[in-house]
Amino acid sequence: MAVIHARHALLPSGLACNVRLTLSAGTIATVETGAAPLPGDERHEMVLPAVGNVHSHAFQRAMAGLTELRGPSADNFWSWRREMYRIGLNMSPEHVEAVAAQLYMEMLEAGFGRVGEFHYLHHDPSGVPYADPAEMALRIAEASRTVGIGLTLLPVFYAHADFGGAPPLAGQRRYIHDVDGFASLVARCEAIVAELPGGVCGVAPHSLRAVTADELAAVVALSAGPVHIHAAEQVAEVERCLAQTGAPPVQWLLDNTPADGRWCFIHATHIDADEVRGIAARGVVAGLCPITESNLGDGIFPAGAFLEAGGRIAIGSDSNVDISLRRELRTLEYSQRLSQRARNVIAHPGGSTGQRLLHEASCGGAAAIGGMAGIAPGAPADLAALDMASVPWLPADKALDHFVFAGGIGVDTVWCGGVRRVEGGRHVQRDAIEARFAAARHDLMRHDPL
Ligand code: ZN
């Protein structure tokens, strides 16, 4: 049984001093506060819960930083999507596993402890299922096992290019299923994650663009796990949904599905005050992806109003252009400041913004992708210790704000399921994982330099 003594730790009740944690069989067995360290304890200055990253498309890590060149006309989400489809068409199962391993390693180093993989690259490049239709899901699972991150696998159902059951585009051929084929895939995915420590499986109808109402109901009925769906990321998508159904996507989902605490609406960017209240009242988690939403020019989610309405938020890295827990949280708060011309929007009155951001992301992340949140008995032993060595002058009650906003504090050690995977800020297998990623990336560059 490992024992960690933290001079300070972020508990569900707030920051606590002299916290002694015992870890057993992948979970936190006991939490004692005001406790002196004992000989043999592993000692750290500041320990946080490692946060769930609720929304990832792993293969997109391969194109990070390669789509920042302006095209002949104005660029937007849809022109980016064309590039994303192109690189996705070239990736083999080996490429996907190597890229996912690199990505998941970077997530652990950033202080994330679990990933919700919204997995939609299913078939071979011609659009035909692999001999094992879950080949790509297996590669994702293997990457998570190699790296040691908790996996919530969310196989994606994708059937149409647009509202009204429009046939899929040629560029979408690797994603497409009918409901029966998808049901088989979900059964395989459930078997695959059952072999992983702490593995969770759910379903992800891609978006209201990509599924009909009947398909949505059938897909949701296939799983007792989390249900994730993209919603209201783009104004054009909201307008098309309104024209087609008479309601914007989030309102349509609230009116026509049993959406509740099992559900996570990814983005939910363009919503009105009724939708803000509706999502909050139903207990649906809003899965926000602040860096990707900035990178793609999506818009700004009304996080301040949503939290005030009692809503739950979680963080995802989505396109995986930049893997950083603290920059996700900082970008979320800054987007609120820019839109409201105010400061410390997310904080409780009189409270720390960094602490609230971390607390909400931890609780919402656990709710959205499985597991119990926070540093508490019975919760998964997913923990991150900060490196406080460079700021010996900093009072502990300012440390989380400094971590999120000032950038002078790094993540030092990360445990996932009680196993230490990151030491001194580096994943323990970094060199091998990085070498495999570099080889895959070189190979992809030969096919398509982007
Ligand atoms: Zn997404």
Give the CATH number for residue 6: 2.30.40.10
How far does the centroid of ligand 1 lie from the alpha carbon of residue 56, in Å?
7
Question: What per-residue confidence (pLDDT) applies to 82?
Answer: 82
Looking at residue 407, its pLDDT comes to: 87
The pLDDT assigned to 450 comes to 57
Q: 363 C-alpha vs ligand 1 centroid, how far in Å? A: 20
Question: How remote is the CA of residue 349 from the centroid of ligand 1, in Å?
Answer: 32
19 φ, ψ (degrees, to nearest 5): -105, 125
Give yes or no: residues 148 and 277 share one domain: yes
Contacts of 70 (CB under 8 A, 6+ apart): none
The pLDDT of residue 17: 98
Tell me whether residue 22 is in a domain.
yes
- CA 116 to centroid of chain Cα atoms: 5
Whether the CB-CB separation of 427 and 147 falls below 8 Å is answered with: yes
Q: Are 438 and 444 in contact (CB under 8 A)?
A: no
Same domain, 122 and 260: yes
Tell me: do 196 and 220 sit in the same domain. yes
Q: Specify if 439 maps to a domain.
A: no
Q: 227: CA distance to ligand 1 center in Å?
A: 14
The bridge status of strand 227-231 relative to strand 312-315 is unpaired
Examine the domain organization and report whether 40 and 134 are in the same domain: no
Mark whether 45 and 77 lie in a shared domain: no
| Ligand 1 centroid from CA 198, angstroms | 23
Within 10 angstroms of residue 341's Cβ, the number of other Cβ atoms is: 6
Domain with 15, as residue range(s), is: 2-49+383-430
| 309, 417: one domain | no
- Residue 396 located in a structural domain: yes
Residue of 5, 122, 318, 427 marked active site? 318
Residue 372 CA, ligand 1 centroid: distance in Å: 24
* Residue ranges in 296-422 assigned as alpha helix (H): 303-308, 325-340, 353-369, 399-401
298 C-alpha to center of ligand 1: Å?
12
Residue 16 CA to ligand 1 center (angstroms) comes to: 36
SS3 for 407? Answer: coil
**Same-domain pairing of 132 and 147:** yes
Dihedral through CA 315, CA 319, CA 320, CA 326, nearest 10? -30
The residue type of 207 is: S
67 & 192 share domain: yes
Q: CATH code at 332?
A: 3.20.20.140
Choosing from 369, 404, 420, the residue where a domain stops is 369
Total structural domains in the chain?
2
Ligand 1 center from residue 435 Cα (angstroms): 27
| The pLDDT of residue 66 | 85
Among residues 331, 321, 323, which one has the least CA distance to residue 301? Answer: 331
**Which of these is catalytic: 5, 95, 267, 427?**
267
- 255 shares its domain with 204: yes
Is 322 catalytic? The answer is no
Is 267 catalytic? The answer is: yes
pLDDT in tens, 193-209: 999 999 999 999 999 99
In a domain, 450, yes or no: no
Take residue 393 and report the two structure tokens written for it: 């002058």
* 57 plus 167 within the same structural domain: yes
Q: Is 301 a member of any domain?
A: yes
Identify whether residues 315 and 363 lie together within a single domain: yes
The pLDDT, as a whole number, for residue 1 is: 81
Does a structural domain hold residue 448? no
Residue 358 sits in the same domain as residue 395: no
Phi, psi dihedral angles at 321 (to 5 degrees): -70, -25
**Residue 423: what residue type?**
E
Identify residues whose C-beta is under 5 A from ligand 1, the ion: 318
Residue 420 domain-assigned (yes or no): yes
Q: Considering the domain boundaries, does residue 374 fall inside one?
A: no
Distance between Cα 327 and ligand 1 center (Å): 18
Average pLDDT for runs of 10 along the chain of length 450: 96 97 97 98 98 97 88 82 84 97 98 98 96 98 98 98 94 95 98 97 98 98 98 95 97 98 98 98 98 96 98 98 98 98 97 98 96 92 97 96 95 98 98 98 78
DSSP conformational letter for 47: E
CA distance 178 to 348: 46
Taken in order 129, 200, 419, 317, the sign of the CA dihedral is positive
